[in-house]
Structure 1
């Protein structure tokens, strides 16, 4: 799914209208977007860039994702206030903040240690108190805190690591970009019902790969 059609617009009302046209209508999510100042999370982001629907560099070869895709991913989880969420690929912490404003508790995993530390500072500045982060391998999730009502991956994989489905509660939802080997990834919503996992595509976008097995300082 393409992002917002006018990448130069920095007007919130126009952006929210476009999100509604794309099917993002959850009132609580739209309020969370309004409340969460991206300038607290993205280095050197100017006020006029606040609602530009494109990625932004956050250092260490990483970027904050296209805003409309973030909204689509978070909206697909249909979070309830009592939910516990696992956020894999925290980056600057912006998506983590949205998840935290919509749920009871968020546990975030980030491979790059300096980004983990920066995201913690960003969340603190934003007054987010219900998010806990650590630097680790997203492939293994966070088994000590499972089960989760929702899990979100912000990095692409060919198959979702089975251990993540094991950490998903019955009735839980998982969103991941699936690498099909030909350009944009298929953003896919998985739902768990007992031992059954169903899936459906909810859009398309470009995402970095899910890197296994190591934690990085750069």
Structure 2
């Protein structure tokens, strides 16, 4: 559990990396990252670093979660799609900011374990699915906000199509073994506007379902 000193250091690290949005900082103070880190890495849950989780995936470093959430500019009435549930930590942060969060992952085990954490934490506005996230969730579209926590070479067409006009998508793009850029895509009446935010490194966005 977060103690007061850990919380202070955690928030200081976020601010020093550029996370300044008050709502995002409050969400990250409210959601205990320790709930999402298991096993031998549990004692490092409050450090600003990515950590390994099951299925060969990672839980992103808190400052990147904060910066992506900040760039997404989630409003209280928004419906958000997250592609890449992973540990469930990013979805839990989004649940504090949005009306409804839909999150999908190709690994059944990750979705099952994330759901258990959501249930224990009483996060009732998150719906988690095992699905191929590169196709989005057409049945629930359009979305006000979309966040992708795995890197594609280009923003996937189905996800762009499921973004509401006026909506924002934040995702890493680039070759998985090279430098990736965090991109903010805004859908307008005329098309899509792209802003490059910073260099990042994420696992690749893969099609199909995992074996676990």
In which range does the TM-score fall when normalised by the shorter chain? over 0.9
- After TM superposition, give the deviation of residue 28 of structure 1 in Å: 1.2
Choose from 123, 148, 166 the match for 2:161.
166
The alpha-carbon distance between structure 1 residues 117 and 101, as it changes in their structure 2 partners (threshold 3 A), is same
* Counterpart residue number, 1:216: 210
Matched-pair contact (CA < 8 Å) for 1:180–1:186: no
Normalised by the length of structure 1, the TM-score is: 0.90
Name which of structure 1's ranges 174-183 and 90-99 shifts more when overlaid on structure 2. Answer: 174-183
- RMSD of equivalent CA atoms: 1.7
- 1:63-212 correspondence to structure 2 within 5 Å: 63-180=58-175, 183-212=178-207
What secondary structure does 1:120 align onto? helix
Q: Which has the higher helix share?
A: 2
Corresponding residue for residue 21 of structure 2: 26
Cα contact 2:176–2:203 (8 A) shared by 1: no
Q: What is the rounded CA distance, in whole Å, between the counterparts of 2:77 and 2:8 in structure 1?
A: 29
Q: Is the alpha carbon distance of 1:156 and 1:46 closer, same or farther for their aligned partners in structure 2, counting shifts above 3 Å?
A: closer
1:24 CA drift (Å): 1.5
Alignment: residue pair count: 208
* Runs of 4 or more consecutive aligned structure 1 residues displaced over 3 Å after TM superposition: 45-48
TM-score normalized by the length of structure 2: 0.92
5+ residue gaps, structure 1, are 1-9
Asked if the contact 2:151/2:176 (under 8 Å) is kept, the reply is no
Displacement after TM superposition at 1:50 (Å): 3.0
Deviation of 1:43 (Å): 0.8
In 2, the alpha carbon distance for the partners of 1:192 and 1:123 equals 30
Question: What SS does structure 1 have at the residue aligned with 2:68?
Answer: helix
| Pair 1:56 & 2:61 matched | no
Is the 8 Å Cα contact of residues 39 and 46 (structure 1) preserved in structure 2?
Answer: no
Structure 2 unmatched runs, 5+ = none
